[in-house]
Amino acid sequence: MFRQFRSEVETALADALANLDLPTDDLGIEEPPEEMDAILASSASFRLAGELGAAPPQVAAEIAEAVAAVIDDADFEYLSDVTVAGPYLNFETTEAYLDDTLASGIDEDYGALEDRDTSVVVEHTSANPTGPIHVGRARNPIIGDAVANVLDMAGYDVDRHYYVNDAGRQMAVFTWAYETFDETDLEDPPARNRIEYDLVRYYRKGNSYLEEADPEDVEAAEDEIQSILQGLEAGNEETYERVQTVVDQVLSGMQECLARLPADFDEFVKETRFMRDGSTDAIADRLQADDHAVYEEDAWQLELDEWGIDKNLVFLRSDGTSLYTTRDLAHHEWKLEEYDRAVTVLGEDHKLQADQLNATLEILDNDVSRLENVIYSYVNLPEGKMSTRRGTGVMLDDLLDEAIDRAREEVETRLDDRIRDDELTEADVERIAHQVGIGAVRYDVVSKQPAKAITFEWDRALDFEAQSAPYIQYVHARCCGILEEAAAADIPIPGADATSAGAADASAIDANVLETAEARDLLGEIARFPAVIEDAASELKPHIVATYTRKIADAYNSFYRECPVLTAETDELRDARLALVCASKHTVANALSVLGVEPPESM
């Protein structure tokens, strides 16, 4: 409804400006200031004041008259009128807007847009399989999963990929160390009882050996490491299997960690795939034949000055072995063949590499307009016991453990009476602690613009009163509580399965009986949700959804304080408010799900 209303406003204003022989390139349509009772406004009068030689309020009045004429002549479904508030044009909705919003909101899938018949691959996380996932990289799976979710909700056919670096020197060192050393050679026990924490000790041992052993021993080790790299390059099956023995074990543990967020993947695409199928060699041959290719410093390189990049891209070593970027070029050409769009989530330290990749793909005659990157800054560590872990760094698992522990303490404090009275079991407390703790981490990370650095603060992330995940999760729990009370009192539930005894006839609910400002403001926020999804997907910015959840949570809490539902004055008003609660529940649940935050049914 809001999307259509916005479209009708754009049409009416553009036609009115054209009728006045005024430019239509900037309509100035925006959310009005809070003190204005309107859903959409236009500040175009500010831009046009100089051109017309009049004050903005006078210009707004003239434009409003022209807009009103357009509305009178048109057959708009949701745009009913335009008013003037100083320099602003305020656009008003029809009664059908409220009815249709409420009727749509009680659908459990509310907010999901129509199928676009467009395939998108979202590649994210892709941490090297050398050990546990570090907390500094936690932003990648959280942002990546939310980007994929919002695209899915917006009607795209989404695949989630993890690109596995299984061909570089790191994996050759890891494989050599795993085959060379045994448990007695390792100094410390695993930091956690999971396979990647166990095996990373071999990787660390191998690196320390290469730094500290006698030169002749290091030379022998380097020869073996180089033979592994050459074996992969040559497509030797035995070498491939040796490396995969390590890669697959470490990756399985990393998947267990990511499942805690959760962040799921449709496919783990291995780098060696593009060596084994010949596409990496084909890329190198095509680049060597290009005019931008030069052989300098014992390597083949591309000069990318034409793209404003002053650092050459090295794509082939003197010994004929490829580099990570060469293989990633083959990977990206494959993605462009398989998908309509390709989105990659990258840390800020990969920006130069991404620019080089895009320029090179353009040299190779690819349509780089179908490639999009989401660049993020890193997460600074919280204070407290997270600061050290026996010198091994802080892992994502550590952050999630502490989040759950802190959430459990908060839940037990807040729900002490209910726990004492046996209303909540230990399992309930544990469920809520996981939902709140993990939700707090995800929400705090995804709610910030990706390019801005984050300093994680526990007190803010777990604040039930502030605009955090628990604050919004509590709105969903409140909605569920009201609906449960209604069901217990045999009051028909709007949006329930029409075959059930507790179903209400949605078509009989009149949204226009919702006369309080709080109810109408809440309904207005609900109406915006599909447009929020559309905007977040268009801009690849899931934090837009997070900002929206704070607004609808505020609106719901105002409604909750001022508008009794089950004890409303009339059955008609009760049913309308109950429908509004139902629509709020679905909207909040779907918005939180896009962000990867669980919507609890009780808190």
Do 85 and 205 lie in a common domain? no
**Residue 555: exposed, middle, or buried by beta-carbon count in 10 A (0-12, 13-18, 19+)?**
buried
The confidence score (pLDDT) of residue 414 equals 81
Quote the number of domains for the chain: 3
* Distance separating alpha carbons of residues 549 and 111, to the nearest angstrom: 13
Residue 37 belongs to what H/E stretch?
none
Do 88 and 181 lie in a common domain? no
State both tokens at 513. Answer: 């009986």
**Which of helix, strand or coil describes residue 320?**
coil
Do 418 and 537 lie in a common domain? yes
Domain end call among 78, 93, 108: 93
* Distance separating alpha carbons of residues 210 and 179, to the nearest angstrom: 15
Residues 6+ apart with CB under 8 A from 214: none
pTM of the entire structure? Answer: 0.91
**Under a CB-based contact definition with an 8 Å cutoff, are residues 414 and 429 in contact?**
no
Domain span at 237: 166-262
State both tokens at 436. Answer: 């709140």
**Under a CB-based contact definition with an 8 Å cutoff, are residues 105 and 582 in contact?**
yes
pLDDT below 70 — which residues of the chain? 381-393, 420-421, 495-507
For residue 298, is it within any domain?
no
State both tokens at 46. Answer: 């500010």
Do 432 and 568 lie in a common domain? yes
Do 441 and 586 lie in a common domain? yes
Domain end call among 213, 230, 262: 262
Do 191 and 78 lie in a common domain? no
- Length of the chain equals 603
E-strand ranges in 405-549 read 454-455, 493-494, 503-504
Do 402 and 530 lie in a common domain? yes
For residues 200-231, b (16+ Cβ closer than 10 Å) or e, as one string? bbbbbbbeebbeeeeeeeeeebeeebeebbeb
Chain center to CA of 75: 38
**Under a CB-based contact definition with an 8 Å cutoff, are residues 78 and 8 in contact?**
yes
CATH number of 494's domain: 1.10.730.10
DSSP state of 294: E
For residue 494, is it within any domain?
yes
For residue 67, is it within any domain?
yes
DSSP state of 414: H
For residue 553, is it within any domain?
yes
Could you write out the DSSP letters of every residue in 493-521?
EETS-TTSTTEE-GGG--GGG--SHHHHH
Do 493 and 585 lie in a common domain? yes
Could you write out the DSSP letters of every residue in 226-292?
HHHHHHHHHT-HHHHHHHHHHHHHHHHHHHHHHHTTT---SEEEETTHHHHTSHHHHHHHHHHTSTT
Four-residue CA torsion sign, 81, 507, 472, 548 = negative
For residues 400-428, b (16+ Cβ closer than 10 Å) or e, as one string? bebbbebbbebbeeebeeebeeeebeeeb
For residue 46, is it within any domain?
yes
For residue 158, is it within any domain?
no
* Distance separating alpha carbons of residues 62 and 44, to the nearest angstrom: 12
Do 78 and 172 lie in a common domain? no
Residues 6+ apart with CB under 8 A from 340: 118, 119, 120, 370
The confidence score (pLDDT) of residue 52 equals 87
For residue 563, is it within any domain?
yes
- Residue 391 Rama label (left phi>0; alpha psi -120 to 50; beta): left
Beta bridge partners of 160: 122
Do 412 and 514 lie in a common domain? yes
Which residue's structure tokens are 């600074």?
Answer: 380
Residue 342 belongs to what H/E stretch?
strand 341-347
For residue 414, is it within any domain?
yes
Do 170 and 87 lie in a common domain? no
The confidence score (pLDDT) of residue 387 equals 39
Do 39 and 176 lie in a common domain? no
Count CA atoms within 13 Å of residue 142 on its CB side. Answer: 31
Chain center to CA of 273: 28
The confidence score (pLDDT) of residue 421 equals 67
The confidence score (pLDDT) of residue 438 equals 95
Domain end call among 262, 283, 316: 262
**Under a CB-based contact definition with an 8 Å cutoff, are residues 498 and 510 in contact?**
no
**Residue 359: exposed, middle, or buried by beta-carbon count in 10 A (0-12, 13-18, 19+)?**
buried
